[in-house]
Amino acid sequence: MEPVVEVRGLVNRFDGQVVHDQLDMQVQEDEVFGIVGGSGAGKSVLLRTILGLQRPVAGTVRIRGRDITNLSEPELRPIKARYGVAFQEGALYTGLTVLQNVQLPMIEHLALAPDALAGLALLKIRLVGLPADAAGKYPAQLSGGMVKRAAVARALALDPQLLFLDEPTSGLDPVSAAAFDDLVLYLQQHLKLTIVMITHDLDSIFRTCNRVGVIVDKRMESDTLERIVEHPNPWIQAYFHGERARARLGGERGA
């Protein structure tokens, strides 16, 4: 089956500093793919490259078989309408209410009547577990967990089949983070989404991810969760078998 996202031979360099060197990555249909890596390993750069926010020095990025690295902005537009992104800090538009935030992609891409616009936006807001009265609030009035949920609601505005989440549980308390993991699983199962998730959160990885890609030495080692924890690379060993991880290894995904 054709991968949903396929990165081949990716090279990223900034001012002579190599971030990625021949990095490969594949995300299959209907899976939750976790991207893991140390601080500064280039997780966010990878995401920005996949999203077309940044052009790589070399290599290809295919989304559903289409190479996006050499597309112009107008050519990228229909591709961008088919995936959703929730940024790390939410990146909600601070001057708009939650409802308006969710409506903005719809206004940009769909020609909808005001009633449909309001109804669909409210559906997405309720879908991510926000109460209806959050719709009229501004981002500054929301808690951290609610901001993350609102960001997901906005990412789902156009009913994408592919969802990118950048550190969705960072900055959340364990209870909210666990609730967010439940949301990710709920969305993945009910909407048949393919989810690519950057995360540091071991709980999140063990609970939600099918496969994990670890960025080590400017490349990516990816495998199923069960097998990646046995990978011999010292950083991966330290990551999955460190003090903080040991308690988790008994647990299983979705348990």
Q: What are the residues binding another protein (CB under 8 A)?
A: 78, 81, 93-95, 99, 106, 109-113, 115-116, 118-120, 122-124, 126-127, 132-133, 135-136, 138-140, 156-159, 190-191
- Starting at the earlier edge strand, list the strands of the sheet with 5-14: 17-27, 5-14, 58-63, 66-67
Q: Which residues are CB-contacts of 159 (< 8 A; sequence separation ≥ 6)? A: 191
- Beta carbon of residue 118, minimum distance to another protein (angstroms, whole number): 4
- Beta carbon of residue 54, minimum distance to another protein (angstroms, whole number): 23
What are the angstrom distances between the C-alpha of 39 and each of 45, 146, 198, 214, 245? Answer: 12, 25, 12, 12, 17
Closest CB to another protein among residues 158, 202: 158
d(CA 126, CA 18): 43
CA 161 to chain centre: 12
Closest CB to another protein among residues 115, 243: 115
Closest CB to another protein among residues 111, 175: 111
- Beta carbon of residue 102, minimum distance to another protein (angstroms, whole number): 11
d(CA 205, CA 212): 8
Q: Which of 176, 128, 174 is nearest to 151 (CA)?
A: 128
d(CA 4, CA 60): 14
Look at the chain and count its residues: 255
Structure tokens at 28: 């299959």
SS3 content of the chain, % helix, strand, coil (to 5): 40, 25, 35
- Beta carbon of residue 121, minimum distance to another protein (angstroms, whole number): 8
Structure tokens at 129: 């577990």
- Beta carbon of residue 78, minimum distance to another protein (angstroms, whole number): 6
Closest CB to another protein among residues 92, 177: 92
Closest CB to another protein among residues 53, 132: 132
> Coil, strand, or helix at residue 37?
strand
Q: Which of the 8 DSSP states describes residue 87? A: B
Closest CB to another protein among residues 78, 251: 78
Closest CB to another protein among residues 41, 128: 128
- Beta carbon of residue 46, minimum distance to another protein (angstroms, whole number): 26
- Beta carbon of residue 136, minimum distance to another protein (angstroms, whole number): 5
Strand partners of residue 8: 60
